[in-house]
A and B are shown apart, each in its own frame.
Chain A
Amino acid sequence: MEEVSYIGEHIWLGQLGHFALVAAFVSAICASWAYYKSLKGETSWLSIGKTAYITHGVSVFLAIGLLLYAMVSHYYEYDYVFRTVSDSSQMKYLLAAFWADQEGSFLLWMFWHVILGWIFIAKGKSWTAPTMVTLALIQVFLTSMLLGVFMPFVEGDFKIGSNPFILVRDVYLNSPIFTNADYLTQIEGRGLNPLLQNYWMTIHPPVLFLGFASVSIPFSMAIAGLSSDRHIEILSPMLKWGLFSGFILGLGILMGAAWAYEALTFGGYWAWDPVENTSLVPWLIMIAGIHTNLIAKSTKYSIKSTYAYYLLAFIMILYSTFLTRSGILGDTSVHAFTTMGLETQLAAFIILFAGLGIYMYITRHKTIPVKPNEENIYSREFWMFVGALVLFFSALLMTGSTSLPVYNKIVELFDPFYTPIAIDDPMEHHNKFQIWIGIFMGLLAGTAILLRYHAANWVNYESKLSKYLISISTISTVLTFLLSQVIDTYTWQHYVFLFAGLFTIIANGTYIVSFLKGNLKSSGAAFSHIGFGLLILGIMFSGLNQKTITAARFLQSDFAAGQAEDRAIVLLKNQPFPTTDYWINYKGDTLIDNLRYYELAFSKVNSDNEIVESFTSWPSSLYNKEMTKIAADNPGNNRNWTYDVFTAASPPPHVRDLEERDRLEDSLKYLSHIVKVGTVIDEEKYTYQVHQPIYNYDFTGGEHNDSSSYDLTVGIPMDITLKRTGEVKRVVPGLALKNALVFQIPEVIDELGIKIKVPDTAFAKIFTEEDQLDYQDVQLENGASANWNGYQITLAGFDRSGNYENYQAQEGDIAIAGILNISAPSGDQITQKPVFILRNAQQFSLKDYDAKSGLHIRFSNIDPETQKMTFRVAQDDRSNDEVELLIANDVPRSDILIVESNIFPGINLVWLGCLMMLGGLLLSLIYKKQQTKA
């Protein structure tokens, strides 16, 4: 292709950005190497490592800053900007757009590694160097994902990394637009997917990626610990980072669940989607690691498993990244990233770090001190260890099921005729297993916390503990029975699950009150366990008692497959509809910016027909930036202390999309009706009467809601009487002129399924064309009056300003407007300003027209001697009292709304439980920090 020199590109930015990424890559290698060397006793390398990592961080920040700058400046020559930003993008979604795609989210991940690394350099003390070796190495690999270097001498398009600063014209190589040097003026970015234009998209990814990044620290520390002989010494700092990681990663996942609940996947906070599972797995392993780390710190047991869990947590983060970003989940997940062409690199990433972990563990585990006797079966450490195993077991099951697509891919490699398999109903599959995990966890978390490390003084403690356990179990049993009356427990497993939840709440509550004497600072663990118990209750309430209130009360039987129930209902405007719990009334809608809000009034009545509860739900539709179609729906949520009501509303297809509407319009059959003004016409379901046309009719507001400004309009008022109800409706279909184009403004009467239009051809009949007009002269002196066909015309003065409608001044023009005050026979007062122009010794006149009276007036001559002005006056021929209308029948209603509403009881227990679990981790972290300082 010929070299074109393009106009308006900002090439320097991409070059600088790519340079920053290469610098980040090189400096990360330097940092890792320097820190490694420093471990060999050469302390001079330490400051080199530090400088290199600081340089690395600055380079990463520079790359991020440049990409953000390109996005703010709408530099569409960059593919990443083109993909995520559009002209109408709002600043508040800038960050959301930044991490919406692969490269940006890698940068976000790297950003947190930089921050955490810097903190570690400042605070890590003797652990800094050995930890930073691995952390910097991780950064080497993450940076390599963004290098965008094509490998020479390798077959195919093998490339290392995907450069976020790649140009649009290097992506769409064959697009003809790039033959144009000025192509930038012709392209506009696509903008952020409307589904992601959400505040959750601004806050969820940074927290989740901080969570991801935080897992690297316990991993790097575990490598550091294994390579040193200081296995005991590392337990305390490693626990703090583990707690931090457990807290922040958990928060990130929880935010994802809250987003799913609120907006994305209508119908729940957790769907066992592979993307969700693979983020939960590292967290579960991290929590297992925290537990064994606690054991190790207090008893010196379980040091090996602590290392193993921390190593595995990071490897599972990498595996999760591989699954969600390689495109391998394709058929099984709704929200996986699209492929970036870096599967091989991601797989290599996992193998390398897994290899590093396994190698370190195998070669070094013999140096880990082992206690001669095994754990006492009545000790806390024994049961805590079992609890950690249960967590690991849960992660194992989840990973196994989620890895099915990987299994399929591998088998396909060897057997081309293999048909891939998938889990039929992931919800049922996972719930079936994980309910048992929940049960064991609840029982263990309640029991282990009451036991003592090393089973200290067991002889005396045994009877005390038995009493506690017996009374806690009794209370839990009674409460299980009571609660099962309000929860729809279906199977005996549900009873056991409920019992386990209550057991852990009461046992841990007892622990805080009776054992810690209310010392909240050291009650982090018990606090988390109570949170877990509340989560179980929340899962039971919201999961089992959840129902679709719009579901049909009688299942339709003609549809055999599955137990599909009819979930949606159709609401007609202002016709309240009874559902299982509420009457729902669709009262109307309001457009605010590009969001259309539907007003749905919910009310619950008792047997005496009195309203006992009422509220309004506001689901909405988000239009695309051209306002031609609805791009996303937001459910309306009504939050209460004990239950939430979620309502999704959607207008019918022909209202959602202009294209659909045009298709529908084309399919309508209009019949012409020529009707006399004033006559009542009788149809099957209605009668109608047409009135005199209204000129300059205002179509803005009301049912038309047409905000365009027109040059000229006419409305044909009609009264339509519905035979069924006797109701009379006034509608005004019409025509409008704008820039010499005629627009039809139709009316739809939804109750009758009819649509009424005025044909374009009627325009010429209503407004007489110039050559059909019969102009007559009226001569006036300034201040004089004359009568024309009953109109009293007075020449009130002149306007010499030169600012007249439709007038463009030219050099040498003499232009003057006569101001005519006219009294119409109807009593109306009209002011007209026709213009007289003398241009190049030739006379012209600019007509003024009054649509209402139909008067056309020209200012045609000035006699300088007599001071007489000649005006030419004509009027539209309105003697014809017939109007042509086009009426179509069987028009689909547009005043309907398809509504699905769900009620989630006890959902706040889920949130409260999760927040308490995380709060407990935070509490422990703060407590541990204070302990170290003291």
Chain B
Amino acid sequence: MKKTHIIALVMMAAAIVMLTMSSKDLSTFSTFAKAELDGERVKVSGQLSKSDPMVYDPEVDANYFSFYMIDDNDDKRKVAIRESKRYDFERSEKIVVTGKMNDDGVFEASEMLLKCPSKYKDEELALRKQASAVDS
């Protein structure tokens, strides 16, 4: 066998070993209920509960935003994250938060990924609107 082939094989093996060993970098998609049970850092995906209050008051704390989220098991919990409220948060179709459940039953997220719709198949066609500038 040629030296170059040996090196190639060693590298392939190393790549496979590295990828399988990096399992601790992985986290599973979980639910609020499971997160509460084991207190681990998990990813939870779900939707924004639009009927519940969202709190973002920059005058009080510019780095605190809380909202209610319904996970894929229809479990609704309060989620808090230490960052300013993102642009177009209300329009997000899907939210993925990474974090832990605290003792008060609030999910403290350290990361949040928003999936915004870029197509509106089900929505009504946008009708031509009259420009209106009404001042309150």
Contact = CB atoms under 8 A, between A and B. Distances in A.
A396 to B, nearest CB: 5
A396 B8 CA distance: 12
11 contacts: A177-B125, A338-B117, A393-B15, A401-B22, A421-B28, A424-B25, A564-B81, A565-B82, A567-B63, A652-B58, A745-B135
A269 B126 CA distance: 36
A397 B27 CA distance: 18
Interface of B: 2-4, 7-8, 11-12, 14-15, 18-19, 22, 25-30, 41, 43, 45, 56-59, 62-63, 80-85, 87, 94, 96, 98-100, 102, 108-111, 113-115, 117-119, 121, 124-129, 131, 133-136
B127 A187 contact: yes
Given A334-B113, A566-B82, A898-B62, 20 more contacts: A187-B127, A382-B3, A396-B12, A396-B15, A397-B18, A400-B15, A401-B22, A419-B30, A420-B29, A421-B28, A422-B26, A423-B25, A429-B22, A559-B82, A560-B102, A562-B110, A564-B81, A653-B56, A708-B133, A743-B134
B59 A893 contact: yes
A561 B4 contact: no
A237 to B, nearest CB: 25
Contacts of B114: 334
Interface string A407-448: 000000000000111111100110011000000000000000
A556 B114 CA distance: 25
A389 B26 contact: no
A348 to B, nearest CB: 24
A185 B19 CA distance: 57
A385 interface: yes
Contact of B63 (A423, A561, A568, A661): A568
Interface string A152-179: 0000000000000000100110010100
A561 B59 contact: no
Contacts of B7: 386, 389
- Select the residue from B28, B108, B131, B135 with max chain A CB neighbours within 10 A: B135
B25 A892 contact: no
B4 A386 contact: yes
A422 B85 CA distance: 25
A561 B108 contact: yes
B25 A425 contact: yes
B135 A393 contact: no
A83 B121 CA distance: 11
Contacts of A630: 87
Contact of A626 (B28, B96, B129): B129
A385 B131 CA distance: 65
Interface residues of A, number: 80
A175 B25 contact: no
A12 to B, nearest CB: 23
A630 B43 CA distance: 30
A377 B45 CA distance: 53
A584 to B, nearest CB: 14
Contact of A186 (B19, B110, B127): B127
A560 B63 contact: no
B2 A422 contact: no
A425 B124 CA distance: 38
Contacts of B113: 331-332, 334
A650 interface: yes
A175 B30 contact: no
Contacts of A898: 58, 62, 84
**Closest 10 A/B residue pairs (Cβ):** A562-B110, A561-B108, A566-B63, A564-B82, A429-B25, A400-B19, A374-B2, A424-B27, A561-B99, A570-B62
Contacts of A332: 113
Contact of A561 (B8, B57, B100, B126): B100
A193 interface: yes
A199 B31 CA distance: 41
A187 B83 contact: no
Contacts of B129: 188, 626
Contacts of A569: 62
B15 A570 contact: no
